[in-house]
Amino acid sequence: MHSRTSPPAPPSRQPVATGYGGAVSTVDPDASRTAIEVLRRGGNAMDAAIAAGATLGVTEPYVSAIGGGGYITYYDARTRRVHAFDGREFAPAAMRADSFVDPATGKALPFDQAVTSGLSVGVPGTLAQWDLALRRFGTRDLRTLLQPAIRVAEKGFVVDQEFRDQTAVNEARFRDIVPTRELFLPGGKLPEVGSVFRNPDLARTYRELAKRGPAWLYKGELGKEVARTVAKPPVDPAASRNVRPGLMKPADLAAYRALPKRPTHVPYRGLDVYGEPPSSSGGSTVGEALNILGNFRLDAKDPVTALHYYLEASKLAYADRGAYVGDPDKVRVPLDELLSQGFARERACLIKPDQAAAAPVAAGSPDGRYAPCVPPGTQTRALAFEGPQTTHLVVADRWGNVVAYNVSIEQFGGSGITVPGRGFLLNNELTDFTLQPPAPGAPADPNLPAPHKRPRSSMAPTIVLKDGRPKLAVGTPGGSTIITTVLQILLNRIDLGMDLPAALAAPRATQRNTPSVFAEQAFIDRYGRDLAARGHRLDPFPGPPQGVIGAATALEVLRPGLVQAVAEPVRRGGGSALVVSPAH
């Protein structure tokens, strides 16, 4: 919706801010300003994170919205404990293992058809998660925290190149879905860079939500509208696109719960790393890879060897993720064993210091019986006996509470389906399930669709403690590359001696148990030849967006009270780091 009256100024972006009284990093200046406003008015980190999340629903509508879900990791300064909140969407009760299989072919629907469909829409978890997190740790109510987002939706925000590009990627399917076209292609055109984009429908939705609370979605009229939209997607009758109906009913929304969880925890180089447990594979896969890396001495003077071990540890951890991680309410996930030092030692023994293993590698056996071994290329003590997972934002407040929060609707633009008159897109998170059931006799897949099951995620909001106090918080969007981006930032900061801004800016590579390592061009230029000599095959990351892996946000507590917030300097147009009182 465009207008030329009193346009907001284009926001300035800074990737690094250091100071006192609270800090925030998000991908968007409006969301960062919202969080700082809440902190200045005495709100805590949880309040600020949720207010920023609501604002991202306005300014980053293709990646985060109340039509999606996410994960929160939270450090509570009062008890010095870390908590996790699972707001992942779940499948409708009518969902079956073969719901994405085309009966005509016996094969899974082509991925693009599965995405742009009612079938891909999971029951949104964001509002239930906000409600749970605020009841447990917030100091402000949702009505108050929605106000800054309502103002941004009404006044509008300045369209940047990234917003235009994300719209352009979706243009063809957005045109075919009437309310999506009306909202995101105003006047039938892509929004111009520098123009003002308003979303009065979302402002009205947020206002109503402020009055009625999350029950309006889960037990009320908004939920009925969502279920109707999923069951009968509002496709232009003139469009030739087959947008299949979904299976969601109002009863599925009524059955949804956000879940408090115990976070994953692994020790690493004298630090304690906490992450998001299943249904996300973020915490388990980051944790397992760090446990594997903990068996090797990594030296900042020899980054190529460190990166070789990082790529090999990722490869092994991804193999285990695929074999064992799913929704723990529906399948048995051997989480304690996946995160055990014994299993990590057994996996580390497979890594050769001078030769990459041919991928894909086989999954290990996290069964509690581990061969004693010394990983090659290192000297380690004898094995001690042990008994038998978007956009991302970080916030720290003046009391020492810290939030790492991933919120998502999956693809850029989610399912492409906008709820008529409501101003938000619905997710396509159910395409995170394995769409094709395994052949008879093949190993079971822990990530097949099932009623009220949560699809496996890679979101990895991560908090690192030192001596029981927050040291780092980090996370990123990027689908299954989330895990490797978080891992690589931790490796850069902890093992390679980079400061946090350098650790975020450094070129990235991702190894997800595939024959090729996919990497940003700058990574290939810097390390490609040396890693190729060890048998790694490096190819440019295909995207989306092409050649760019992730859009991370992070913070570091430099000393008590003094926090450095860090966003991307360049990737996806750069992010926005702010503090309440800058250090001079």
Measure CA 50 to chain center.
Answer: 15
User: Residue 72 in 3-state DSSP?
Assistant: strand
Residues in Cβ contact with 114 at an 8 Å cutoff, skipping those fewer than 6 apart: 100, 108, 120, 428, 431, 435
The secondary structure of residue 425, as a DSSP letter, is B
**Tokens representing 48?**
């600020």
| Contact yes or no for 489/503 (Cβ under 8 A) | yes
115: left (phi over 0), alpha (psi -120 to 50) or beta: alpha
**Tokens representing 301?**
């003077």
Name the catalytic one among 73, 205, 390, 485. 390
| Contact yes or no for 482/456 (Cβ under 8 A) | no
| Contact yes or no for 21/580 (Cβ under 8 A) | yes
Among 315, 321, 314, 316, CA closest to 335: 321
Query: Which residue stretches of 424-510 are H helix?
Result: 482-490, 500-505
| Separation between Cα atoms, residue 304 and residue 232, nearest integer Å | 53
| Separation between Cα atoms, residue 322 and residue 285, nearest integer Å | 10
Among 195, 199, 191, 188, CA closest to 58: 199
| Separation between Cα atoms, residue 313 and residue 295, nearest integer Å | 10
Angle at 81 between CA 566 and CA 398, to 5 degrees: 45
| Contact yes or no for 264/333 (Cβ under 8 A) | no
Q: Is residue 553 annotated as part of the catalytic site, yes or no?
A: no
Residues in Cβ contact with 516 at an 8 Å cutoff, skipping those fewer than 6 apart: 537, 538, 539
Query: Which residue stretches of 177-220 are H helix?
Result: 178-184, 200-212, 215-218
| Separation between Cα atoms, residue 194 and residue 157, nearest integer Å | 9
Omega prior to 61 cis, within 30 of 0 = no
Positive or negative CA dihedral for 129, 133, 138, 141?
positive
**Tokens representing 330?**
């529906």
Beta-strand ranges (E) seen in 380-480 are: 391-397, 402-408, 462-466, 469-475
| Separation between Cα atoms, residue 555 and residue 308, nearest integer Å | 26
- Count CA within 13 A, CB hemisphere, residue 137: 29
- Cα-Cα-Cα-Cα dihedral of 424, 428, 430, 435, to 10°? 160
Residues in Cβ contact with 163 at an 8 Å cutoff, skipping those fewer than 6 apart: 59, 191, 197
As annotated, the active-site residues are 390
